[in-house]
Amino acid sequence: MITPTPLMQLVAGAWGFKTLAVGVEFGLFTRLAGGRTITVAETAAELEIDERPADLLLAASASLGLLDKAGEGYRNSELAEQFLVEGRPYYFGAQVRYSDLHTYLPWHRIGEALRGNRPLTWDPQQQKSMFDTTDPDLVTEFWDAMFATSRFTARALADAYDFGAHRRLLDVGGGAGAFPIEFCQRLPQLQATILELPHVCVRAEERIAAEGLTDRIGTVAGDFLGDPALPDGHDVILLSMILHDWDEPTNRTLLTRCHAALPPGGAIVISELLLNDERTGPPEAALMGMNMLVETEGGKNYSGAEYATWLDDAGFVDARIVPFDAPGANGAVVARRP
């Protein structure tokens, strides 16, 4: 018998996110790093809250798979231990924090975005794009969130696609450098260049230096949509979580410029949350498309077939989809310049 229970689960999805977000805000999972167990009374004392809300927070976090019950106490689940403890290589809390502070409330006005077909997190009359901001806090929070999402996605992509076949990588719109850092740590022969806005290059250089990779990863300050040409001298170009920010004409133009920048035999890798060809899912791709309505002027999530068509029209050949599982992408569309 069909019931409305799935609808209630959708309603409760917002509650689950806010439970995760407040756990990150209070540093709950970082406090429990290394296998520490905490009771309700200890939680209340450390978080400076009453025992009733402490009990509810712990129970709800356990129900979401973030904590495990251990006797009378709670400890991090494997998921929280790996991804919600600050300082861990694949710490995801920065994405949770950014979403909580900057996209959660705009999503409450999603009807306004649908009616007006315009973003809610920034004003197109005041900015060229969502990336055009000088607010230092927002810059830090956004690019830390992108790094958090990208770092494990880079690991999954590196497992799925052999970057060892290449010598020089150009990461177009590469943010703070998560993909080149992950790849170069694995592949000693690989050199990489990040093309990014000037203020983002500064953040990337800090991350690269912290990983000891300054001699292998460089940055080029620029605008991949506005500059006359992309940097040449690379045999593979990566577009990770880039094309969903823009409309089809903009993406087609960028792919044509990528083709011009690559030598014969060079490869292009488009890493995204791909819709299926019927545009019925998966949910993570379709909902990211809705998020693009909230955050961009023309962005949406596309199917692998759409990307393959654009690549073919731009002069690439042998387009294929490489599936994998990561927070920022569920696959890559790979093609080469003949």
Catalytic positions: 244
Measured between alpha carbons, how far is residue 228 from residues 2, 24, 198, 224, 280 in Å? 57, 43, 16, 9, 37
Of the candidates 157, 149, 155, 169, the one whose C-alpha atom is nearest the C-alpha of residue 321 is 157
Cα 100 from Cα 7, distance rounded (Å): 23
| 3-state secondary structure at position 251 | helix
> Helix 136-160 to helix 198-210 angle, to the nearest 10 degrees?
60
Cα 225 from Cα 172, distance rounded (Å): 10
Cα 124 from Cα 261, distance rounded (Å): 30
What is the Cβ-side half-sphere exposure of residue 16, based on CA atoms within 13 angstroms?
Answer: 11
DSSP structure class, residue 225? T
Of the candidates 223, 237, 225, the one whose C-alpha atom is nearest the C-alpha of residue 267 is 237
| 3-state secondary structure at position 326 | coil
| 3-state secondary structure at position 331 | strand
Cα 156 from Cα 323, distance rounded (Å): 10
Measured between alpha carbons, how far is residue 273 from residues 120, 282, 292 in Å? 22, 9, 12
